[in-house]
Amino acid sequence: MSNEDIAIVGIGMHEFGRHPGVSGMDQGVIAVRRALADAGVEWKDMQFAFGGSQAAGAADTMVSKLGLTGLQFINVMNGCATGGSALFSAYNSIKSGMFDLGIAIGFDKHERGAFRIDTKKHGLADWYGASGLALTTQFFGMKINRYMHEHGISDSTLAKVGVKAFKNGSMNPMAWRRRPLSEEEITQSAMLSYPLTQYMFCSPGEGGVALILAKASDAHKYTDTPVFLNAAVVRSRRFGSFEVMAPHLALEHGVGPTVDASKAAFEMAGIGPDDVDLAQLQDTETGAEIMHMAENGFCKDGEQEEMIALGETEIGGRFPVNTDGGCLANGEPVGASGLRQVYENVLQLRGDAGPRQVPGDPKVAYTHVYGAPGISGVNILSR
Amino acid sequence: MSERVPVEAGVFTWPADEPRLLGSRCTNCDNHMFPVQDTCPRCSGGETETVELGRTGTLWTWTVQGYPPKSPPYAGDADPKTFEPYGVGYVELPGQVKVESRLTVNNPDELEIGMELELVLVPLYTNDDGAEVVTFAFAPTAKAASL
Ligand SMILES: [Zn+2]
């Protein structure tokens, strides 16, 4: 892995959660200001921006608040991979040699309750939603139910992932849900989509994140603790994979986009799963974290049962996962969620994660997002 | 008995005593799809034919929708006071495809991966004309129900 790549030299975040009276866009603007301050630069120094939200407006309109500097600003809208796609685009804009310094921005603000799915936007007919099938929560329930059947994951393990998430969230001042929950509280909350209960699911929320990227050779102009972006990959689904919002699945089975994105990212970075010190993995619900551990190559199918029982994915464990509380404790403002994972990894690699700092001086950190209609994004960072 | 109408034309055979889902078969690679679509995601081929899919299959995976979906798009009873949870699953139709469907069973103790199911129609809501709007669901076959 070389540090000839791209450096993240500034990070900014607006608190995740519920913020009545603050628009999603304004949360993005605040995140940008914090990232600029972190890098010690000004908005006028930004040569380009990629930004997006799913439900809080066109990102490029934020220039009216940040400053009309004439920069190249491109809106990105790619579902749960919106942030990852903005980061991928920023990465390539510098890698290509066209720009030296720029910013990736993600923000969002969703209505309360489960996501309301516009079936037409997903290329689905009206009967699908009318019949009660257009719910992402059903997919997660069905995917983990099948996985538990095939690989022997227990209900208790589903709950333990939630316990860890809220414990980590309780140590994160930017997180939405900061009250630790017991295994019993999680197991006994309302059954939303069997076998998943209310506290096993994340909720749509609000928040914003901005990341400033620079040529690696310039990084020390901006920070003493640059973190390098060694891989940025986004992949869509292939035939035979099991994806959200699918009226049919093929009889033959293929791997999902996470497996493809992960392999490509490891190849790009020139490392393997054993080299990774910590990871932020898409945890739309607790079962997703479990399945994504295997899909990203960090264990074999079924090994999670023992790993989680032994506490290996805890902050002090062998392979910490979702150290900031993940989507479960932070909620999921779709446009910001993927960049939140990168923000956390930068803090961890800088050694700035406070009470939730992963011990042992971590050097390599991994992020993964997954979302409809079957898209995954992976980033590998190092210092 | 009030008139019954399908939730949407072209999803299943109608009228029919024993309804079948309408899908597509790729004339190039034999891939089956549901609902009807005119191109094939397996081979990127551009020619498909509409076929009636099998009426019976086995449960590949399942969940139970435990809370009222947002309405719209949901057309059934979304009132938290009267909402009845419903089963949802993927049903493997042998030699064809796995279709996503409501299940008539909503009790986790009565649902099992591999159980045999058959296609039925279930009432969804009553429309402005007083007609009963129906959608498709899979129910345990007589054989499965007696187990
Ligand atoms: Zn084909």
Query: What average pLDDT score do residues B119-141 get?
Result: 96
pLDDT tens for each residue of A217-259: 999 999 999 999 999 999 999 999 998 889 999 999 889 999 9
Evaluate whether residue B20 is within a structural domain: no
- The pTM score is 0.95
* A145 chain-B contacts, CB cut-off 8 A: 61-63, 113
Determine the structural domain holding residue B83 and report its residue range: 55-145
Q: What is the distance in angstroms between the Cα of A164 and the nearest Cα belonging to chain B? A: 25
pLDDT band at B142 (very low <50, low <70, confident <90, very high): confident
Share above pLDDT 70 across residues of chain B, in percent, rounded to a whole number: 96
User: What is the interface size between A and B, counted as CB pairs within 8 Å?
Assistant: 128
Output A196-201 pairs: Cβ under 8 A, ≥24 positions apart.
A196/A137, A196/A140, A196/A141, A196/A144, A196/A158, A196/A285, A196/A286, A196/A287, A196/B63, A199/A162, A199/A166, A200/A158, A200/A159, A200/A161, A200/A162, A200/A285, A200/A286, A200/A287, A200/A328, A201/A137, A201/A140, A201/A284, A201/A285, A201/A328
CB-CB under 8 Å, A133 with B102: yes
Give the pLDDT score at B143.
63
CB-CB under 8 Å, B70 with A116: yes
pLDDT tens for each residue of B11-52: 999 998 899 999 999 999 999 999 999 999 999 999 999 999
CB-CB under 8 Å, A131 with B75: yes
A251 CA distance to ligand 1 middle (Å): 13
Evaluate whether residue B36 is within a structural domain: no
Evaluate whether residue B28 is within a structural domain: no
Evaluate whether residue A170 is within a structural domain: no
Q: How far apart are CA B117 and CA B139, in angstroms?
A: 5
Give the pLDDT score at B26.
97
Nearest chain B residue to A254 by CA: give it: B42
Outline where chain A has alpha helix (H).
24-39, 63-66, 82-95, 126-130, 136-151, 155-169, 183-187, 257-269, 286-295, 304-309, 326-330, 334-350
CB-CB under 8 Å, B33 with A248: yes
Q: Is the pLDDT of residue B147 over 70?
A: no
Evaluate whether residue B104 is within a structural domain: yes
Residues with CB under 5 A from ligand 1 (ion): B 26, 28-29, 31, 40, 42-43, 45
CB-CB under 8 Å, B42 with A250: yes
* B35 chain-A contacts, CB cut-off 8 A: 125, 247-248
In a mutagenesis test of the B interface, which of A112, A194, A201 is the best target, namely the one with the most B β-carbons within 10 Å?
A194
pLDDT tens for each residue of B63-108: 999 999 999 999 999 999 999 999 999 999 999 999 999 999 999 9
- Given a cut of 70, the residues of chain A with pLDDT beneath it are 1-4, 114-115
* Total domains present in chain A: 1
CATH number at residue A285: 3.40.47.10
Interface predicted TM-score (ipTM) of this complex, two decimals? 0.95
Surface of B (57-96) touching A: CB under 8 A: 60-67, 69-70, 72-76, 86, 88-90, 92, 95-96
Evaluate whether residue B98 is within a structural domain: yes
* Total domains present in chain B: 1
Evaluate whether residue B9 is within a structural domain: no
* A138 chain-B contacts, CB cut-off 8 A: 63, 65, 88
Q: What is the distance in angstroms between the Cα of B15 and the nearest Cα belonging to chain A? A: 17
By Cβ distance, the residue of A113, A146, A250 closest to B70 is A113
Give the pLDDT score at A79.
84
Evaluate whether residue B47 is within a structural domain: no
CB-CB under 8 Å, B89 with A142: yes
Q: What is the distance in angstroms between the Cα of B114 and the nearest Cα belonging to chain A? A: 11
* A190 chain-B contacts, CB cut-off 8 A: 66-67
* B88 chain-A contacts, CB cut-off 8 A: 132-133, 138, 141-142
Q: What is the distance in angstroms between the Cα of B94 and the nearest Cα belonging to chain A? A: 8
Structure tokens at A214: 């620079």
Q: What is the distance in angstroms between the Cα of B96 and the nearest Cα belonging to chain A? A: 7
Determine the structural domain holding residue A30 and report its residue range: 6-112+201-382
Evaluate whether residue A66 is within a structural domain: yes
Whole-number Cα distances in Å, A170 to A80, A164, A175, A313, A318: 24, 10, 8, 16, 21
Determine which helix (DSSP H) or strand (DSSP E) holds B143, and give its type and residue range: helix B142-145
Evaluate whether residue B18 is within a structural domain: no
Q: How far apart are CA A316 and CA A332, in angstroms?
A: 25
Evaluate whether residue A34 is within a structural domain: yes
Q: What is the distance in angstroms between the Cα of B1 and the nearest Cα belonging to chain A? A: 22
